[in-house]
């Protein structure tokens, strides 16, 4: 039997890193103020770690949705796999060419593109979709804050969040002998 309402439990779980970081910050401040010896010297490191955990937790909390969507997402060794009731697919992170947030669908969907394979559509509230934050953050050149702001504003069109930059072969001059 649980004494915590389901909505409160979901909010605690969504913001868990921030709450743990705040608890660590309180502990670090207490050690810094009241203790002498080793704990007083450890406290600044605990405060720095708490600050980092709060910042990362805030980003992850903004990324996590309410859940309860259809399908399941797995991220294993650089591959994103979506198992849906009607569609599904897999994309290798190193082969991914574009990431789009498609707000024309309800709920919004992540659209993952890879050359030579069909696009993978993943609802933002699919089970396990919180693992996508770390996967997307590993994409070279992805602007995390832009991704989070687009996710929060819920656009009514498809918005390209990230696209792989390929070198322009016309600008690469062949190197000859001098």
What are the pLDDT digits (tens) for 151-174?
Answer: 988 889 999 999 998 765 555 556
- pTM of the entire structure? 0.76
> Coil, strand, or helix at residue 43?
helix
CA-wise closest residue to 164 among 139, 144, 146: 139
> pLDDT for 50-88, tens place per residue?
999 999 999 999 998 777 789 999 999 999 999 999 889
Domain 72-163 has CATH 1.10.3470: no
Q: Which percentage of the chain shows pLDDT scores above 70?
A: 92
How far apart CA 50 and CA 71 sit, in angstroms, is 34
Among 76, 140, 141, 75, smallest CA distance to 110 is for: 75
Dihedral sign, Cα of residue 7, residue 50, residue 76, residue 150 = positive
């Amino acid at each position: 039997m649980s004494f915590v309402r389901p909505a409160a439990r979901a909010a605690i779980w969504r913001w868990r890193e921030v709450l743990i970081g705040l608890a660590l910050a309180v502990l670090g401040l207490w050690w810094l103020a009241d203790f002498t010896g080793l704990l007083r010297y450890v406290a600044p490191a605990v405060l720095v770690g708490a600050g980092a955990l709060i910042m990362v937790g805030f980003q992850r909390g903004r990324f996590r949705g309410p859940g309860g969507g259809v399908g399941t997402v797995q991220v294993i060794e650089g591959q994103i796999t979506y198992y849906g009731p009607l569609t599904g697919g897999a994309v290798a992170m190193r082969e991914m060419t574009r990431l789009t947030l498609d707000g024309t669908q309800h709920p919004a969907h992540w659209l993952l593109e890879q050359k030579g394979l069909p696009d993978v559509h993943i609802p933002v509230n699919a089970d396990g979709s919180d693992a996508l934050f770390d996967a997307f953050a590993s994409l070279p050149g992805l602007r995390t804050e832009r991704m989070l702001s687009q996710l929060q504003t819920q656009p009514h069109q498809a918005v390209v969040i990230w696209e792989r930059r390929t070198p322009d072969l016309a600008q690469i001059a062949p190197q000859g002998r001098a």
